[in-house]
Each structure stands twice: as structure tokens, then as C-alpha cells.
């Protein structure tokens, strides 16, 4: 599908007068329209709730927008729990789906009344050592079926190699042990394939989890409050990919629900999701300016952002579409590597990419950076994080996180003999 930037060159120029490039910018209208589409797709299920995966875009202003739809937050760290609490989420709106969990984070999740989703059976005694034997009334477990996970277009992922979740045997044993500690209602969670661009993934996963929940219900006599389909619904990073249709995905899940759960007398089970990428990726972009053009054995365009601002291309070789603002209709007849300034040769936003001729000063709009974009930022080479901006539905722009300054980067040298020099403005 054609990829259109949500700002124009004129808007980028205007914004850059106040907030110099590079910056991340999010499209509030796009986020809201997508939240509504998700809500509508699962409206058939009375208890449906999306718990936005905070790690994708951990910004309280973005989280507030999502909270407007009565969605909650999926957390796996102390920072994410604190953010959820800060935007006013109550326990029912916080899912704590962590792994290799530190004790202090279980304590905080429990204090906030969050729904705790256990990654492993050994976490039952671990949790007991923190909160005692009075477990919450509703708790969840994460399942890992092992093997490889296939959909009709081939192997999607490799659960047998992944560190998450419990085997089926452990899952059933965990439910028994939790019931013995007072848990009244259960959740079942699995995340088996990442960034799927097919309407088939959620319905197939749902069918498997519904069968498993029915078996646990029938053999252990336990009640299920929810089935959590977790994340993994992906986005069309490449223009030749067909976008996921959330209405078709919701309808696919409804069909298997009525085939499996309704006849089993489990028709009051809520469906939960923990989408991150699908909720935010297309509605955020990294905007950066071309500052150098270098001609050696290849053609390079150097920009003022780097992998510290968006790590996915360097880390996974991920494709992010690039639009040169103002040159939307120009022919893509130049082949470039688009690079950042890190002393790492993988610091490239694009390799051998056909783009319009780029001049210094051109603004590049790097698409689909709204999830796992700013969030994965790091400070290698002492490169600083950019600002995060929100494009409001009325066209105005609000800064929702300022750019990092050198004194922020050096802040942990406070109380040292270098503080005077490093921490000045």
C-alpha cells in the first residue's frame, strides 16, 4: 500500500523552527482512529480490552490518548508500571506480563493491583515469598507450545527457541498450584509470532488458546476470566505489503470463539490483547535532515539522526520506508545508503534505497517509527535522544518530551569531581 507521510514539507519546516531536527512526531488523529477501529473490531466481546504494550512507546501523553478508549497497559518493568500508575490506570487496566522478573517489580505490580501474568511455574513460590500465600483473585499464565509456529504462508516464529512461557504440563500444574493459593479466575496468554502481516494470526492463536482453556476448564474445573492474545499483530513496513485488517481479525477471532468457547459454556470469557506495534508504529515518524552527501564507492546521504534515535534498521536490518518531503512525486532514480553518524557501519536507515535526488537541507520522513522507535533509543557515542512531538488533530504541535541535553547524559556523574564541568547547561 502507498505510504503517505502525515506531515508536509511546509509543516516540517515550520516545526523545525521551534524543535530542531531530528525529532519523533506522532499523529494523534491516526492513533485515535486506529483505537476506535480496534474497539469496534472486538465489540462483539463484552469484556474485550486492549492493554497497550508500553514498551513500544513509553510516553505518558501517548498513553493518555490510549486510555481514552478504556484500554489498559501491558507492562514488564518498574518504569512501565510507574508510567501506567502516573496516567491514572487502576489495577484492572494494568497487565504485568514480565519475564525473569525482579522481586521488587512483583511487589510493585501487586501493590498497584495489576493483573499478574506468570512467565514460569517457578514464579509461584517466588511470588509467594514476596506477597505471601494470599494470591490475587485473578491471575494469568503464559504458555509456550514449543516447536515452530506456522501459518499458511510458512514458518512465522520459533517458540521452541524462545525463553518465554511454560510447557503445557507446567501450565496445568501452575493453575492447580495457584488455585490452591486462592486464585479464583484465570487468564491464559501466549505470544507466538512477532510482526505478523496476515489476518490469520490472531484467529489461529485464539483457536489454540481456546482449546487449551476448554481442556483446563474441563479437567481442572477452573474458570477462565480472559484469554490474552498478546501482541504480534504487525504493520506493513514495506509499501508492497498488504495492511492487516483489524475488522477481519476481530471477526476471525469471533468465529473460533463461537465454535469453541460458547458451546463449552465459556461464553463470558473476555478477550484481551497487548498490541504495541499495531497501535502506534504507523502513527509515528522520525524526521531528520540531510546534512552531507558523500560519493565514494557508493552514494551516501548523511542525516542528523542516527541509530540512537531509531535502532531497528541497525539491529534487525529492518526496513523503514523513507519519503523525502516535498519530493513525494519526484522519480526515485538515485540509489543511496542513508546513514547516521555513529562509528558503526550498521548505522544506516536504508541501504541501496532508490530515492529522489537528495540535497542538503531536505527533510526525510522515516515512516512507521511510532513503536519500538524512540523507545529503543540508546546513547552510544554520546548521541542524545531527540524530542518527541505530538501533532494534534487541529494541526498544532505539542512537545511531549524534550530532547536530551548533554547534562542529562552526564547526570549520573553528579557528586563526582567532574560534575562542575559535565553538568553545566
Binding site for ligand PLP (CB under 6 A): 53, 55-56, 74, 76, 97, 191, 194, 230-233, 274-278, 371
Unique residue bearing C-alpha cell 474441563: 218
- We find the least distance from the C-beta atom of residue 191 to ligand PLP, in angstroms, to be 5
Nearer to ligand PLP, 52 or 336 (CB): 52
Q: Which of 92, 125, 85, 126 is nearest to 108 (CA)?
A: 85
Residue ranges of the alpha helices (H) in 226-353?
A: 246-256, 277-280, 312-316
- Give the Cβ contact number of residue 374 at 10 Å: 25
| Beta bridge mates, 97 | 117
Angle 26-58-386 from CA coordinates, rounded to 5°:
60
Closer to ligand PLP at the Cβ: 114 or 233?
Answer: 233
Provide the 8-state DSSP code for 334.
Answer: E
- In this structure, what C-alpha cell is assigned to residue 11? 509543516
Q: How far is the CB of 281 from ligand PLP (least distance, A)?
A: 8
Least separation in angstroms between CB 99 and ligand PLP: 8
For ligand PLP, the closer of residues 117 and 269 by Cβ is: 117
Nearer to ligand PLP, 121 or 338 (CB): 121
Q: Are 313 and 307 in contact (CB under 8 A)?
A: yes
Q: How far is the CB of 56 from ligand PLP (least distance, A)?
A: 5
Q: Shortest gap between Cβ of 273 and ligand PLP (angstroms)?
A: 8
Residue showing the smallest CB distance to ligand PLP in the complex: 231
Least distance CB 235 / ligand PLP (angstroms):
9
Output the smallest distance, CB 279 to ligand PLP, in A. Answer: 7
Q: Which is nearer to ligand PLP, 91 or 373 (CB)?
A: 373
Q: Which is nearer to ligand PLP, 250 or 276 (CB)?
A: 276
What does the block give as the cell for 372? Answer: 519500538
Give the integer Cα–Cα distance in Å for 98 and 356: 44
Q: Exposed, middle or buried, 49 (CB in 10 Å: 0-12/13-18/19+)? A: buried
Residue 266 neighbours by CB distance under 10 Å: 18
CA–CA gap between residue 63 and residue 86 (Å, rounded): 10
Q: How far is the CB of 57 from ligand PLP (least distance, A)?
A: 9
Quick one: angle between helices 123-131 and 103-111, nearest 10?
60
**Closest CB to ligand PLP among residues 16, 197:** 197
Give CA–CA dist 314/335, Å, rounded: 19
CB closer to ligand PLP, 38 vs 127: 38
Amino acid at each position: 500500500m502507498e505510504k503517505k507521510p502525515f506531515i508536509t514539507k511546509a509543516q516540517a519546516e515550520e516545526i523545525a523552527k521551534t524543535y530542531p531536527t531530528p525529532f519523533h512526531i506522532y499523529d494523534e488523529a491516526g492513533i485515535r482512529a486506529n483505537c476506535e477501529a480496534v474497539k469496534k473490531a472486538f465489540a462483539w466481546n463484552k469484556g474485550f480490552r486492549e492493554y497497550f504494550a508500553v514498551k513500544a512507546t513509553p510516553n505518558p501523553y501517548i498513553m493518555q490518548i490510549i486510555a481514552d478508549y478504556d484500554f489498559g497497559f501491558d507492562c514488564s518493568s518498574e518504569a512501565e508500571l510507574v508510567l501506567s500508575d502516573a496516567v491514572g490506570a487502576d489495577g484492572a487496566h494494568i497487565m504485568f506480563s514480565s519475564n525473569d522478573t525482579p522481586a521488587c517489580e512483583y511487589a510493585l505490580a501487586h501493590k498497584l493491583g495489576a493483573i499478574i501474568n506468570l512467565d514460569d511455574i517457578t514464579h509461584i513460590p517466588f511470588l509467594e515469598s514476596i506477597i505471601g500465600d494470599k494470591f490475587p483473585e485473578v491471575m494469568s499464565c503464559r504458555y509456550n507450545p514449543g516447536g515452530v509456529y506456522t501459518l499458511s504462508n510458512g514458518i512465522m516464529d520459533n517458540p521452541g527457541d524462545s525463553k518465554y512461557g511454560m510447557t503445557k504440563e507446567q501450565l496445568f500444574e501452575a493453575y492447580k498450584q495457584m488455585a490452591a493459593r486462592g486464585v479464583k479466575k484465570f487468564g491464559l496468554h501466549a505470544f507466538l509470532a512477532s510482526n505478523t502481516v496476515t489476518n490469520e494470526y490472531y484467529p489461529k492463536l485464539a483457536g489454540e488458546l481456546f482449546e487449551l482453556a476448554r481442556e483446563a476448564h474441563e479437567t481442572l474445573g477452573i474458570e477462565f476470566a480472559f484469554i490474552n492474545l498478546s501482541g504480534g499483530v504487525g504493520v506493513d513496513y514495506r509499501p508492497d505489503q498488504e495492511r492487516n485488517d483489524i475488522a477481519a481479525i476481530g471477526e476471525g477471532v469471533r468465529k473460533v470463539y463461537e465454535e469453541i468457547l460458547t458451546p463449552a459454556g465459556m461464553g463470558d470469557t473476555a478477550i484481551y490483547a497487548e498490541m504495541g506495534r499495531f497501535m502506534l508504529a504507523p502513527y509515528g515518524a522520525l524526521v531528520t535532515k540531510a546534512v552531507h552527501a558523500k560519493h565514494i564507492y557508493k552514494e551516501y546521504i548523511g542525516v542528523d539522526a542516527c541509530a540512537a534515535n531509531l535502532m531497528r534498521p541497525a539491529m534487525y536490518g529492518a526496513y523503514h520506508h523513507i519519503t523525502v518531503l516535498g519530493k513525494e512525486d519526484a522519480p526515485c532514480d538515485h540509489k543511496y545508503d542513508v546513514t547516521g553518524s555513529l562509528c558503526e557501519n550498521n548505522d544506516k536507515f536504508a541501504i541501496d534505497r532508490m530515492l529522489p535526488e537528495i540535497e542538503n537541507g531536505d527533510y526525510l520522513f522515516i515512516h512507521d517509527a511510532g513503536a519500538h522507535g524512540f523507545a529503543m533509543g540508546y546513547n552510544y557515542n554520546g548521541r542524545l535522544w531527540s524530542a518527541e512531538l505530538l501533532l494534534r488533530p487541529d494541526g498544532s504541535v505539542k512537545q511531549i518530551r524534550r530532547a536530551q541535553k548533554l547534562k542529562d547524559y552526564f547526570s549520573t556523574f553528579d557528586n563526582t569531581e567532574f560534575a562542575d564541568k559535565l553538568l553545566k547547561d
